[in-house]
């Protein structure tokens, strides 16, 4: 589909460096959906479920679900 999700971290590394970006138009534009109050370190894993939910995980035990 047209949904693309990118996860990673801002450089240089410090607190709240995790990053979650989503595109609903095949990568033409991206929106930052990072919940900064919850993400204190890097985000390194992502999957899109068959029903379209986005599940991301990162350091420090962070897990986020976006519908």
The pLDDT, as a whole number, for residue 60 is 80
**Cβ-proximal residues to 37 (8 Å cutoff; 6+ apart), any chain:** none
Could you give phi then psi for residue 22, rounded to 5 degrees? Answer: -130, 145
Count CB atoms within 10 A of the CB of residue 43.
22
Q: Express each pLDDT in 5-32 by its tens digit.
A: 999 887 776 667 788 899 999 999 999 9
The pTM of this model reads 0.75
The pLDDT, as a whole number, for residue 9 is 84
């Amino acid at each position: 589909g047209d949904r693309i999700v990118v996860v990673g971290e801002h450089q240089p590394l410090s607190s709240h460096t995790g990053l979650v970006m989503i595109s609903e138009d095949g990568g033409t534009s991206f929106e930052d959906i990072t919940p900064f109050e919850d993400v204190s370190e890097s985000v390194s894993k992502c999957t899109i479920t068959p029903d379209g939910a986005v599940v991301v995980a990162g350091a420090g035990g962070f897990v986020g679900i976006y519908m």
